[in-house]
Chains A and B, each alone.
Chain A
């Protein structure tokens, strides 16, 4: 089993739709969870951290389910500009120089 796993997609959704991605992680002791956005041929950029109680930033909601060992990202009212690859990142071995393990990414394509 991969340490951090994502459905590669692509998820093709119409503008205005709601879409959700999950990311599973293998180590129950993992701390620090993040969602990054990566545009084609660009560097990953932090979209949001994921907090235990869940958190929201505008149209984006991130949640953590420790019991089932996954994090999720919900995007409401999708825009064309949301088209990108979304990478989850997990500190699966806390105390190890803040190293993050990244998923392979989920590709989102928002269409008219």
Chain B
């Protein structure tokens, strides 16, 4: 199993450009998440999904969109990139909840700089 994979690893965008961060997991996990992590800060939840076709906003959704057409893929779309979106983006997945045990598995991250 490759686990959670993310592409690209690094990207520099100009203000106003758009891009899609890709995330794929091969563990057949229902739950998937997108986080951003700013320097010295914790992980902030952007969007999450409990299964194909179902997505919901997290703590900091503004400026982002997601879709979940398959169990495996959960892309994050940035429209009109802004410098405030400079961050490291992590995708994570989690197996179906059982008895409160719901650890999350993370991808390697995408480092995004908006100039």
Question: What residues of chain A have their CB less than 8 Å away from a CB belonging to chain B?
Answer: 4, 8, 31-32, 34, 42-46, 49, 87, 89, 91, 94, 97-105
Contacts and interface: CB of A to CB of B under 8 A. Distances in A.
B103 A45 contact: no
A43 B108 contact: yes
Contact of B40 (A8, A45, A103): A8
B3 to A, nearest CB: 10
Given A99-B33, A99-B58, 15 more contacts: A32-B102, A34-B103, A44-B90, A44-B106, A45-B106, A46-B105, A91-B102, A97-B48, A97-B56, A98-B31, A98-B94, A98-B97, A99-B45, A102-B35, A104-B42
Contacts, number: 53
A42 B106 CA distance: 10
Nearest to A43: B106
Given A91-B100, A97-B56, A43 B45 contact: no
Contact of B103 (A43, A46, A97): A46
Interface string B67-111: 000000000000000000000001000100100111111111100
A98 B49 CA distance: 10
A109 to B, nearest CB: 15
Contacts of A101: 45
B43 A102 contact: yes
Interface of B: 31, 33, 35, 40-43, 45, 48, 50, 56, 58, 90, 94, 97, 100-109
Contacts of A34: 103
A57 B100 CA distance: 20
Contacts of A89: 104
Contact of B31 (A31, A43, A97, A104): A97
A104 B100 contact: no
Contacts of B109: 42-43
A44 to B, nearest CB: 5
A30 to B, nearest CB: 10
Contacts of B45: 99, 101
B32 to A, nearest CB: 10
A104 B40 contact: yes
